[in-house]
Amino acid sequence: MSYDFDLFVIGGGSGGIATARRAAEYGAKVGVAEYDRLGGTCVNRGCIPKKLMVYASHFPELFTDAEGYGWSAVKSQLDWPKMMTAVNGEVTRLNGIYQRMLDNSKVEFLHDRAKFIDHNTLQVGDRIVTADKILIAVGGVPVRPDIPGIEHALTSDDIFDLPTQPKKMVILGAGYIGCEFACIMNGLGTEVTQIIRPDLILRSFDRDLRLAVQEGMIHHGINIINHACDLSIAKTDDGVSVTVTTKDGTQTILADAVSLAALGRKPNTANLGLENIDVKTHNGAILVDTNSQTNIENIYSVGDCTDNIQLTPVAINEGRAFADTMFGNKPRTMNYADIPTAIFTTPEAATVGLTEEEAREMHGDNIKVYRSSFRPMYYVLPAKQEKTLMKLVVDTKTDRVLGAHMVGEHAAEIVQGVAIAVKMGATKADFDATVGIHPSSAEEFVTMR
């Protein structure tokens, strides 16, 4: 049977575009449908604009740090509209780059919603298209939980569209997105309260890392209310009020805005017509095998809409592995072991491999932990009590480093390099035999005893 496309991709985010371009390089005729801006969550409402705001939030600290090094005091004030115009301008520039990448790869772009009619047929706007293989890469959307007054809350997407900076803000939840936004807004001068249900933020990360980040956030002025068991939101004349009940009683916080940034995201699989093709899902996530294949032979899925790890580089690698296998005659699968990740909080954190808790569950008492906490030299002259944490989790039977964790300045940059060693199976002896770069914080990873 003849089809319009060899491959049609639903979703123009990082995973979808990477797949489409790689398949086109192998000679496949490829189409992409995206109803929103190209680049997906990462470019438009996630990694890129968020990281630019992280940079902006660090300048007040840098101004005061400079005084410790002999520079005169700086008086500066944030121009919120100017910052957001610059951030959104960079997003627009990247949208154009993604469009040119598709054009240069001879990938046909359809700027509209796609919906399944059958296993090989899609309705894209007012057009019907057919494809031999179809890849679903629609990403995720923010979760709106069942909380009284939830309609008065912002999502993580909405923060990028705020016309003015909130003077006071409440952030709900303990996830990494919310923690990052709490630190961003706090650094920019907003008074931030973060409400969480557990005792610590960042569930599933190493406990020492979680504790160090939370203590650092509190040290920088964020008010964290933990053990929340009930809450509600109400509109007021001046903004919103959030009433929260903890084991210590009930209190109400008045703010200009409340954000659900920390309550996570869910697969963006509604209105795709999946019911027309009987693709199996779990809690909205598309179920796939190691080859990104669904239960339907010619339909595949990658990225945040699946039940795998939700990170941009993972979606890109999944997509390229699919294209290499199906169109490049280079069969391979995505390896999910030892994937590094970072949390761009203040202090920053990064991690690769197993947490101490995971390692002990898998290896019992055959685990040794190396841990170092210190004040980096940078903070000596500004006389600031900022701490860096570094940690290695080692299997005593093999001496292999199973996990590396860091909280502190440049954690992401440092752990990216350490991740290569962990991925290659480096031992603690390999770390010990490596000469450190002195003076640097990173050298602590090869000098811990």
Annotated active-site positions, please? 438
Residue type, 202: L
Q: How far is CA 154 from CA 261, 282, 380, in A?
A: 8, 27, 39
Alpha-carbon gap, residue 78 to 417, rounded angstroms: 34
Q: How far is CA 128 from CA 28, 133, 144, 278, in A?
A: 19, 15, 33, 20
Alpha-carbon gap, residue 207 to 444, rounded angstroms: 20
> Token pair for residue 174?
């303990």
Query: Which of 325, 334, 323 lies closest to 25, judged by CA?
Result: 323
Sign of CA dihedral 376, 379, 380, 383: negative
Q: How far is CA 233 from CA 260, 285, 321, 327, in A?
A: 11, 29, 45, 51
Q: What is the four-CA torsion angle of 298, 281, 176, 205, rounded to 10 degrees?
A: -100
Contact 240, 170 (CB under 8 A): yes
Alpha-carbon gap, residue 42 to 311, rounded angstroms: 9
Q: At what angle do helices 47-68 and 176-187 cross, to 10 degrees?
A: 40
Q: Which residue has the tokens 């060693």?
A: 421
Alpha-carbon gap, residue 172 to 153, rounded angstroms: 10
DSSP conformation class of 77: -
Q: Which residue has the tokens 């489409």?
A: 20
Residue type, 408: G
Other Cβ atoms less than 10 A from the Cβ of 79: the count is 11
Contact 263, 143 (CB under 8 A): yes
Query: Which of 260, 35, 30 lies closest to 155, judged by CA?
Result: 260
Other Cβ atoms less than 10 A from the Cβ of 200: the count is 17
Give the sheet arrangement for strand 249-255, strand by strand: 230-235, 240-246, 249-255
Q: Which residue has the tokens 């910052």?
A: 83
Alpha-carbon gap, residue 286 to 159, rounded angstroms: 28
